[in-house]
Amino acid sequence: MSIKAIQKIALFSIVAGSATAISNTYNLSWAQVADTQEVSIQFQAMVGDKAFTCGSSYSNLGIAKSSVTPTDFRFYVSNIGLIDASGMVVPLQLEQDGKWQYQNVALLDFEDKSGSCANGTSETRTQVTGSVPAGDYKGITFMLGVPFNLNHNDATLAPSPLNLTSMWWNWQGGYKFVRIDLENQKMAANDGTQQHGDSHSQYDSHHKGQRHNDQGHDHQGHTQHGAIQGFLIHLGSTGCQMEGNSQQPKFCNHPNTSTFIFSEFNLAENVIVADLAALVSESNLERNEPDTPLGCMSALNDSDCTTIMNNFGIPYQGQPSSEQTFFRIE
């Protein structure tokens, strides 16, 4: 006999595949049943129509038609649910594997520490695994990011996959929900640009991860003319306010999480594609806004973030996002 409790949750985001934002109320069905099914949700990192691989260079990216070499490609997803035939969202109970998934958070890691990705980890992860009540599911929803209750803990003490300090800013800022690092040989010579390693802290900790053998190096880039330059995309919360002596903030003015809903998704046939080319399609990867962090690290008043945040489906600088382009179903 099944036991069901219905909980309501409001999702505020851009719907993938739709041109309008939503702020509707959906029913999440939390079910404990005798009959469950194991599921595996596949993700793939792409650069346009080409698969992402460490050491490969990709051309014609952004408005400057740049050639870049990615050096990192990782992100966290959470609050994953499958949509059944009646339109009900049923939460996916993640497999607690002690490495890639913890509670309702999963890490997707597409770099393998080879070639240009030397600062990453050798193991990759391209799927999310878990279980749901047996049934017929036609769609999927998930959040890009780490939930607030897990986002502001000490990464050096956290369970895996939240123990990667290369995916963490600090107590106040929390985790980098997305880390995509690019090298570019054609970035403009220093034109007053302040070359920060990070908008939240000036470096990534070199603390060794507990189970991922993480070695988090900073990717600050260089200012010499003609040297390899970086364009970093680090998505995370900003404006996080602490009270008293607490190291953990009570809230963040800009959570910078986004929830995606795909009404058509076949577990047996489809893959969720994260497309770097689509993400940076309106960005100039050869120039950095003066006196701002290198690339887009979620800081306010950084024009390098305007289109990237929009393509993540996240409002920025008081402007709503029109339509996310980072994820698609294939």
pLDDT tens per residue, range 25-67: 344 444 445 599 999 999 999 999 999 999 999 999 999 999 9
Q: Which amino acid is at 256?
A: N
Question: Domain total for the chain?
Answer: 1
Looking at residue 187, its pLDDT comes to 55
Is the pTM above the cut of 0.85?
Answer: no
Higher pLDDT, 196 or 330: 330
Look at residues 240, 272, 276 and name the one whose alpha carbon lies nearest to residue 58. Answer: 276
What's the pLDDT band for 267 if we cut at 50, 70, 90? very high
The CA-CA-CA angle for residues 208, 213, 217, to 5°, reads 55
Cβ atoms of 18 and 11 closer than 8 Å: no
In terms of Cβ atoms closer than 10 Å to its own Cβ (0-12, 13-18, 19+), residue 210 is: middle
| DSSP H helical ranges for the chain | 148-151, 276-279, 303-312
Looking at residue 247, its pLDDT comes to 76
Residue 149 neighbours by CB under 8 Å, 6+ apart: none
Domain span including residue 33: 3-329
Cβ atoms of 235 and 144 closer than 8 Å: yes
In terms of Cβ atoms closer than 10 Å to its own Cβ (0-12, 13-18, 19+), residue 235 is: buried
Give φ, ψ of 311 to 5 degrees. -75, -20
The CA-CA-CA angle for residues 318, 261, 272, to 5°, reads 110
Mean pLDDT of 243-260: 88
